[in-house]
Chains A and B, each alone.
Chain A
Amino acid sequence: MRFRASIENVPTFFKIMQSIEKLQKKCIIKFTETNMHIICNNDANEGGIQVWSQIKVDSLFVGYRIQSNAANEITMALSSEALLAALKSASPSTSSTYETEEVVMKLAKKNGQAVLTLEINSLTRVGRKVRVSHDVKIEVMRPNDVARLSEPLCPEPDLHILLPPLQKLRTIVERLRPMSDILAVRANNSGCLQLSINTEGVKVDTEWKNCTNPKTQNAEDEDEAPDPEKMFSVLVSIRSFLKFLNSHVVSTTTIACICQNHCMILYVYIGDVADAGGVLTFYIPAIIDDENL
């Protein structure tokens, strides 16, 4: 089992881990020949939010080499916090006195413990070489366990809509959080999106018009003329939604899919959609509560 790559785009990797770390302290990373998958599927995770991401190797790494008996795939469980800390010290912004030249990530075994080593080679201002090395303890997962990992099954979404900038959504949802635990997300096919809470004390509806409904491939042939004004809604835990909104640091475009009374799927694109370096997919289960609908 061999793995070695140099991280070319440290800031993006750092931001991705930032949003993952807020969600779950441990995560699973699966490296394949073409992709890196970061998976958070812990059932213990409050609210049941899951992340299945897929990031193209080219968008983060250069000199990427992988070899294993399991079809050249390596899957590991590790502490997202520790990896984040290692990436932080590799980020150019935080180490202003050094200039990072190269960050190499490789699989190693130290004292019988499998680790993911990040070697950071930098230069000081006067041109001396500095090497910082971080070992992140990992647990290599057996192929059997890997096979058991499965993405949540969802019905065909009722609706797709492009979300406004996540930073703005986050401001609003943060205000709503002290007032309610449940957030209703509603949207229709004519670009209208609503975030609402409804409690005894207060009812708040925030509405965006002029959002974009992206074209989906199968929508064209299946249902011919769905009423564009019809609102589809889903109730989610406001905390889970806020956790998803932590990904605002890395997001450019986000598409939300509503499966009415089932779940919400959010595709957070890293980089431009057309040339997406990757996508983080968040699944937020719906809260079934007839009273609040």
Chain B
Amino acid sequence: MLQPSDDEEISPVFKASVHDIRYFTALLRGVNFVNRATVTITDRGLTVTVEEARTLLGTAFIFSDIFDEYFYHSESPPPAPSSQDSQEGEVVDNAAFEVPLNTLIECLNIFGTVGPASTNTSTGKYKKWRKAGDDSDHDNGDEGRGRAGMSNGAHNLGVGARGIDSYFGGPEKRTGMRMTYVGSGYPLTLLIAEDALGPTSTCEITTFDAEPHLELEFDNSQMVLKIILKSSWLRDALSELDPSCDKLTFIGNPPPDASVSNSRQNPKSRIGVQPMLRIQATGTFGSTEMDYPNDRDVLETFECTRAVKFSYRCGHISRTLRALQSSTKTSLRIDEHGLLSLQFLMPSPKPQGAQSEVSDAFIEFRCLALDDDV
């Protein structure tokens, strides 16, 4: 990418700050399964994209309003490899670079303040973020209420755990960050500080030019299966799977009461022979099947145009677990060719009723299906 002119160099391309890094870090951890990540910056927010085996694409969409301060100053718009922008539809002016994601996360966690790593349960995870809101004086309170309707069980657990936790973790746990990217060829600079008298850390992470990513467009008009469900329902199912499984199959059938495509309330349909949604895992030592009932409490949305059966590599699906664990809601879509799109809504710690509307960030995974005939 070009360096436009000398005076442009003075004002950095990107600058952002946040008073509590836990939410941001949790989003990054959700896609931390490949070390090299592409960060794309637009004036609406950041996307962090990783790719594995030309099959799985993970993207965290982090909107600018989760930051306290967010500033993007366009470099001369290069014909950038902006594979992530499919979501936006139009081409957005952006800056992109690659960073080692592990290093970035380690740096953010330098004071050990972003909570336990990866493999904890969802309640543990968003208990952490919630506490962030609790502790800060101006953000206090009712972020929980805004989302209460959305996730009952897991959410309540989170609140309960937070209640206890607040006795232990003091407000000193909060860690703020300022992030600067001067431009192409410059490192990503993080300034991280704990409260008041604590130490400050300056991290300079070498950036690389962004390489083009796999293009996996999800065409909504070709969608054959769409499910929205509470993340805990999917998490519980996937965490049951034996690690020796190598293939995971999603089977979907149109609801028996076919006249209404997204019929949810017919209790009789539960008895139907064909499962509406079945997750089947196959491995060397056997197979597991899990059926979801046709119950609106479980499957909030269920749209299925025809019988669907697509298989994916378990190893790829398990990459999504970390994000799934810290999310509240999941949208699972499959198109005609078996392209799977999993979107996880990551609840933001800010109150929903704040003056500025805070969009919850989400993490999306797209995965190509295994060829069943082979």
Contacts and interface: CB of A to CB of B under 8 A. Distances in A.
Interface string B102-124: 11001101111000000000000
B199 A203 contact: no
Nearest to B205: A202
Given A175-B106, A175-B112, 5 more contacts: A171-B110, A178-B106, A202-B107, A204-B202, A204-B203
A201 B106 CA distance: 13
A179 interface: yes
Q: How large is the interface on B (under 10, 10 to 19, 20 to 34, 35 or more residues)?
A: 10 to 19
Contact of A203 (B102, B110, B203): B203
B204 interface: yes
Interface residues of A, number: 19
B205 A207 contact: no
B199 A200 contact: no
Interface string A180-224: 000000000000000000001111111110100000000000000
Interface in B88-143: 100, 102-103, 106-107, 109-112
A11 interface: no
Given A202-B204, A203-B204, A175 B109 contact: yes
B197 A203 contact: no
B292 to A, nearest CB: 40
A206 B110 contact: yes
Contacts of B201: 172, 204-207
B174 to A, nearest CB: 15
B200 interface: yes
Top 10 nearest A-B pairs (CB, nearest first) are: A171-B112, A203-B204, A206-B201, A208-B199, A204-B203, A205-B202, A175-B110, A202-B205, A202-B103, A175-B106
11 contacts: A172-B199, A176-B110, A178-B106, A179-B103, A202-B107, A203-B187, A204-B203, A205-B203, A207-B199, A207-B200, A207-B202
B206 interface: yes
B209 to A, nearest CB: 15
A252 to B, nearest CB: 19
Contacts of B106: 175-176, 178-179
A142 B103 CA distance: 51
Most chain B CB within 10 A, of A176, A179, A201, A205, is at A201
A232 B199 CA distance: 19
A200 B207 CA distance: 11
A194 to B, nearest CB: 9
Contacts of B202: 204-207
A164 interface: yes
Contacts of A208: 199
A185 B79 CA distance: 44
A97 B203 CA distance: 50
A176 B205 CA distance: 13
Q: Which of B102, B112, B199, B206 has the most CB of A within 10 A?
A: B199
A26 to B, nearest CB: 32
B117 to A, nearest CB: 11
A168 B109 CA distance: 12
Nearest to B189: A203
Contacts of B112: 171-172, 174-175
Contacts of B103: 179, 201-202
Given A171-B112, A201-B205, A206 B107 contact: no
A164 B199 CA distance: 9
A246 B109 CA distance: 20
A175 B107 contact: yes
Given A200-B206, A201-B205, A206 B199 contact: yes
Interface string B288-324: 0000000000000000000000000000000000000
Contacts of B199: 164, 168, 172, 206-208
B42 to A, nearest CB: 25
Contact of B110 (A200, A204, A210): A204
Interface string B200-219: 11111110000000000000
A206 B202 CA distance: 6
A94 to B, nearest CB: 23
B365 to A, nearest CB: 26
Contacts of A210: 197
Interface in A231-260: none
A204 B107 contact: yes
A206 B198 CA distance: 10
A188 to B, nearest CB: 15
B242 to A, nearest CB: 30
Contacts of B187: 203
Nearest to B206: A201
Contacts of A206: 110, 199-202
Interface string A73-91: 0000000000000000000
Contacts of B204: 202-204
B152 to A, nearest CB: 36
A206 B199 CA distance: 7
A179 B109 CA distance: 13
Taking each of B100, B106, B205, which has the highest tally of chain A beta carbons within 10 Å of its own beta carbon?
B106
A206 B200 CA distance: 6
A239 B206 CA distance: 24
Contacts of B109: 175
Contacts of A203: 187, 203-204
A179 B203 CA distance: 12
A202 B201 CA distance: 13
A283 B235 CA distance: 50
A202 B203 contact: yes
A41 to B, nearest CB: 32
Interface in A1-25: none
A204 B109 CA distance: 12
B3 to A, nearest CB: 21
Nearest to A193: B199
A186 to B, nearest CB: 13
Nearest to A171: B112
Contacts of A175: 106-107, 109-110, 112
Nearest to A164: B199
